[in-house]
Amino acid sequence: MHGLALHKVGNKSAGEGVVLSNRLIETHEVMKNLLLQYFLSPFRAEELYHLSHPANLELNEVFHYAAAIFDDPAELLTQSANLAGHLYQHSAHPKIRSGEFYVACLRNCRLGDETTDAIGLFKSESKETYLKIYPVSGNFEIGHDDGININKLDKGCLIFNTGRQEGFVVAIVDTLSKGTEAQYWRDDFLQVRPRSDSYHKTKAVMDLCKRFVGEKLPEDFEVSRADQVDILNRSMKFLRENEDFEMEEFAGQVLNSPAIISSFDEFKNRFSEENEVEIPDSFQVSGNALKKQGRFMKSVIKLDKNFHIYIHGEKQMVERGFDQEKGMNYYKFYFKEES
């Protein structure tokens, strides 16, 4: 880290304003290492993005200010203030918390096989209370203070100085926001789009399959929840067993019906347009995407509030019926061994 600016960005709807520093932060070696742990430890290299803009990339404010810092590191303080002001303009949702906003220049960052400089944007929104134990005249006293947990970065962004014409390469962290206000960091402040790599292509196909099975399939066909789960299971099995994804092969093995394939193709076109994501007919499957996103492909049947049934395969071992006497639906399961 060879430069760090720190500002305070409030909530715009509450009129909290922005407090700007007039100089860069000076850090000794121990503090620098603590800050680097706080800033960098949450990031994972597999999920990467580009800064973007619907009209012209140069109109993306974060891209413009970051490019100015890359071109002249002496611009760090000036451009960090511009970034703080830009963040404040997009901090209007009532649930957005005020917090410290850091802009750091980082050297010799690893991005795959490449070593490059980066600009880090970080925001701390949550504080924790800590106990402080200290000796006084041969005894001990206990005090407390509020501070930032260096193991819990709230929001972060690493902008790598590579791929400038595509919007640089960007990694994102957002661990705090879960509701509609979550859009302000990624979609409003940064304005990123997924990088066209194997991770995002694999993730897009998984999202497509999940939504098709949950929305389009029951709309066009009479299917049970067990049928839906079976297609999800076969989708995941296909992705896990094939290093290279081929759409035609996937459709034949997983969907296995001309009518369902036609419905899937129609839904895929709509999904791509609505989500502004390209799903190619062939690409390399990302194991990291399968590992991280697989938990969202839940093969579960929820029965009222009484049972959750997880099905991992072998649809022929499951029967669904209706008990006339009880007036209730039922599932019947076949197995060889109980463990």
d(CA 20, CA 101) in angstroms, rounded, equals 10
Q: Supply 106's token pair.
A: 């980082």
Same-domain pairing of 187 and 140: yes
Same-domain pairing of 240 and 312: yes
Amino acid at 316: Q
Q: What is the pLDDT of residue 18?
A: 96
Same-domain pairing of 175 and 324: no
In-domain check, residue 252: yes
Q: Which residues pair with 100 in a beta bridge?
A: 8, 124
CA 151 to chain centre: 18
Measure Cα distances from 112 to 44, 46, 116, 182, 195 in Å: 11, 9, 10, 28, 14
Same-domain pairing of 146 and 205: no
Q: What is the mean pLDDT of each run of 10 residues along the chain (339 residues)?
A: 94 95 92 93 84 94 97 96 97 92 94 91 92 88 89 93 95 73 84 89 91 89 82 88 93 90 93 87 90 65 66 65 80 73
Contact yes or no for 125/93 (Cβ under 8 A) = no
In-domain check, residue 183: yes
DSSP conformation class of 186: I
Contacts of residue 186, Cβ cutoff 8 Å, sequence gap at least 6:
172, 174, 192
Contacts of residue 144, Cβ cutoff 8 Å, sequence gap at least 6:
129, 130, 131, 132
Structural domain count, the chain: 2
d(CA 82, CA 191) in angstroms, rounded, equals 16
Q: Of 141, 164, 194, which one is at a domain's C-terminal end?
A: 194
Contact yes or no for 153/38 (Cβ under 8 A) = yes
Contact yes or no for 146/184 (Cβ under 8 A) = no
Same-domain pairing of 9 and 152: yes
d(CA 267, CA 271) in angstroms, rounded, equals 6
Same-domain pairing of 304 and 175: no
Q: What is the pLDDT of residue 303?
A: 67
State the SS3 of 209-250.
HHHHHHHHHHHHCCCCHHHHHHHHHHHHHHHHHCCEEEHHHH
pTM of the model: 0.76
In-domain check, residue 110: yes
Task: Say how many residues make up the chain.
Answer: 339
d(CA 167, CA 189) in angstroms, rounded, equals 14
Q: Which domain holds residue 215?
A: 198-333
Q: Of 150, 170, 194, which one is at a domain's C-terminal end?
A: 194
SS3 8: strand
In-domain check, residue 338: no
Same-domain pairing of 146 and 271: no
Same-domain pairing of 43 and 156: yes
Nearest to 159, CA basis, from 215, 119, 195: 119
Same-domain pairing of 136 and 202: no
Same-domain pairing of 136 and 13: yes
Contact yes or no for 97/5 (Cβ under 8 A) = no
Same-domain pairing of 132 and 144: yes
Same-domain pairing of 123 and 239: no
d(CA 215, CA 213) in angstroms, rounded, equals 6
State the SS3 of 8-21.
EECCCCCCCCEECC
Amino acid at 239: L
Q: Is 270 exposed, middle or buried (0-12, 13-18, 19+ CB in 10 A)?
A: exposed
